[in-house]
Amino acid sequence: MTCQKFCMALLQWEFIYVISAFNLAYPSTPWRFKLFCMPPNTTYDFLLPAGISKNTSNLNGYYEPLLEAKFNSSGTYYSNLTSKTTFHCCIWSEENENCSVQADNIEGKAFVSPVNSLVFQQIGANWNIQCWMKEDLELFICYIEPLFKNSFKNYDLKVHLLYVLPEVSEESPLVPQKGSFRLVQCNCSAHKCCECHVSVPAAKLNCTLSMYLKITSGGVVFQSPLMSVQPITIVKPDPPLGLHMEITDSGDLKISWSSSTSVPFQLQYEVKYSENSTSMREADEIVSATSLLIDSVLPGSSYEVQVRGKRLDGPGIWSDWSTPLTFTTQDVIYFPPKILTSVGSNVSFHCIYKDENKIVSSKNIVWWMNLAKKIPESQYNIVGDRVSKVTLPSLNATRLRGKFTYDAVYCCNEHECHHRYAELYVVDVNINILCETDGYLTKMTCRWSPNAIQSLTGSTLQLRYHRSSLYCSDVPSIHTTSEPKDCHLQRDGFYECIFQPIFLLSGYTMWIRINHSLGSLDSPPTCVVPDSMVKPLPPSSVKAEITAKIGLLKISWKKPIFPENNLQFQIRYGLNGKEIQWKMHEVYDAKSKSVSLPVPDLCAVYAAQVRCKRLDGLGYWSNWSTPAYTVVMDVKAPDEK
């Protein structure tokens, strides 16, 4: 952790006891504290250093339930101290200019006497201490750094944290036994900054952790009073991530960020931002959502934003600030800057135009499409003095213009157009989905072509569906509870999706979702019932023969086992050759298994095929059966009468 010269040392307490000599508990209210230590017999009648006001309010920080501990030793007296030197420590709060000094009397007991706190604030050597619970609720951390970096550069610095964490909070004594403390050696860097880590089991987050610090430098030991805290009350979240800014469709600046997923409670957020435009604007806002809207955004402005988080419904510590993010608006603001929509829809663009540091009146703004066609003024609307609006009705699909896959919408003043423009993407989403149930009634295959939206680069396509328990509704609609279906691109350019197993009488409502960075579009939904989309197996055992007695072409077959519905049949027949000239014959009698047809040449070879389909017209024709051929044989010609 990088040392910062004036790092505020923070500890969040629900109720704090500061204990001296292990036999006196000093209760304190939950507020901000500072702990100052100095050797005895020190003369206090010195002037305050330059830049330090006698008004203690200048030393106050944010008003929040935090504890700051500063362990100080005068650099003036440091070289004369020994390891046996006893330090008088002062606990100071911003509510009281006087603080309590703890010292040992001749009987070894502790007493408390008031001393002006401003005296202690001038001691030369300081340690700033900040303790918190990480947001994963597994590690308690104390961070120690010297306030003045040069005070201890010639001395070895060692820091130890001693603590007691009982099994349950009720068993925690007011003053733990001295021998019950566990010792943790803290890791110190070359910059004399130290970190102490204590692992806290989840079952002990609500227990009271008692602790004190021993800081050794140059053979002199500085020991803090005994302090106690519940780890769950000092959780410090990680800084918010994914900070993002954008102009909304309504012309506001939206600041958004990602919420932490590891903390077990809801967070509140503090957002600080500054705006640099024709005038400076700074603000601090507290929100519980993960976004904030800033209104009255102007062209040519620059915004800098930072966010931090803290527990919403209980005690906690503010996280560090996120990394600053800067966002600059252009001289012409379009909102939205890009629109993705479907054929036949209506859309609107807004703009604010800045020309030579002056906002152009909305009455003087005109709109052009692709700089080739002026949009009629009847489609303009004035939204205040600065904002102009244009509405584009009943849109046609965008035509490709070289590498441009969108239409450019320009907001201009009366005399010229700025080179910036808004982008309009209009897509034909009328995608036809065709489904077919196999003759064994075990699976349904659906196919669709992406040709209609190939011009929308960067998009992905996904078939989504919702299965109802029985049949389809009269008007198919897109369901909020839908599922995606894996589809695979085939060589013929179609996507193919297979549903298996299937529910024959269920209604499958399906549509194609087009996902793009600008949003998503859905094709019109269609609903199919697998039982109504069956493509039967072709008839089997097909035979063709010339009848000996009556001289007719007889074609016979066996109907497939599935489906069990009544079937109609189609027969095609013709003289066998390289190119057969087929003749068609329809059979609507579901019970028929053969048909006899007159042919002109009884001594020729004929080919015949049969296919079938549901008699009610639902579903598809089966494939043609394997061809059957007649055999040439002596046949008695029919008797003439």
pLDDT number for residue 124: 38
CATH number of 540-629: 2.60.40.10
Q: pLDDT-based confidence at 265, cuts 50/70/90?
A: confident
Q: How many beta carbons lie within 10 A of that of residue 385, not counting itself?
A: 9
CATH code of the domain made up of 241-328:
2.60.40.10
Is pLDDT of 15 > 80?
no
* CATH-assigned architecture of domain 433-532: Sandwich (2.60)
Distance, CA of 342 to CA of 574 (rounded, Å): 50
Which residue did the predictor score with more confidence, 436 or 329?
436
Asked whether this chain's domains 27-39+83-94+124-169+178-233 and 540-629 adopt the same fold, the reply is: yes
d(CA 219, CA 46): 27
The predicted model scores a pTM of: 0.60
pLDDT tops 50 at residue 260? yes
Residue 74 tokens read as: 């005068």
Answer yes or no: are the C-beta atoms of 186 and 159 closer than 8 Å.
Answer: yes
Confidence (pLDDT) at 34: 52
Which pLDDT score, from 0 to 100, does residue 105 have?
A: 34
Q: What is the DSSP letter of 404?
A: B
pLDDT per residue over 400-429, tens digit each? 887 888 999 999 988 888 899 999 999 999
Is the pLDDT assigned to residue 188 strictly greater than 80?
Answer: yes
What is the CATH class of 336-368+384-427?
Answer: mainly beta
pLDDT for 169 equals 61
Which letter does DSSP use for residue 482 in this model?
A: -
Evaluate if residue 156 carries a pLDDT over 80: no
What ranges make up the beta strands (E) of 517-548? 519-522, 526-528, 540-546
To the nearest 10°, the Cα dihedral for 439, 444, 450, 452?
80
User: For the CA atoms of the chain, what is the radius of gyration?
Assistant: 42
> What pLDDT score was predicted for residue 363?
92
Of the two residues 298 and 428, the one the predictor is more confident about is 428
pLDDT score for 296:
78
Confidence of residue 125 (pLDDT cuts 50, 70, 90): low
- What confidence score (pLDDT) does residue 73 get? 35
**In this structure, CATH architecture of domain 27-39+83-94+124-169+178-233:** Sandwich (2.60)
Please indicate whether residue 23 or residue 204 has the higher confidence score (pLDDT). Answer: 204
pLDDT at 81: 46
In this prediction, residue 12 has a pLDDT band, given cuts at 50, 70 and 90, of very low
The whole-angstrom separation of Cα 72 and Cα 81 is 13
- Provide the token pair at 331: 């001289």
173: Cβ contacts below 8 Å, ≥ 6 apart: none
When the pLDDT of each residue in the chain is averaged and rounded to a whole number, the result is 79
Domain spans of the chain?
27-39+83-94+124-169+178-233, 241-328, 336-368+384-427, 433-532, 540-629
Q: Which of 114-118, 144-148, 383-387, 462-466 has the lowest mean pLDDT?
A: 114-118
Q: What does the DSSP 8-state code read for residue 453?
A: G
Residue at 76: amino acid letter: T
pLDDT of residue 104: 40
- E-strand spans in 312-406? 325-328, 332-335, 338-342, 347-355, 358-359, 366-369, 373-374, 380-383, 387-392
Mean pLDDT value across residues 287-296: 89
pLDDT of 205 over the 80 cut = yes
State residue 641's pLDDT score. 52
The DSSP code for 42 is -
Residue 259 or 369, more confident: 369
Q: Is the pLDDT confidence value at 85 over 60?
A: no
Distance, in Å, from the CA atom of 14 to the CA atom of 512, rounded to the nearest integer, reads 56
pLDDT the model gives residue 542: 97
pLDDT score at 259: 82
Q: What is the pLDDT of residue 289?
A: 92
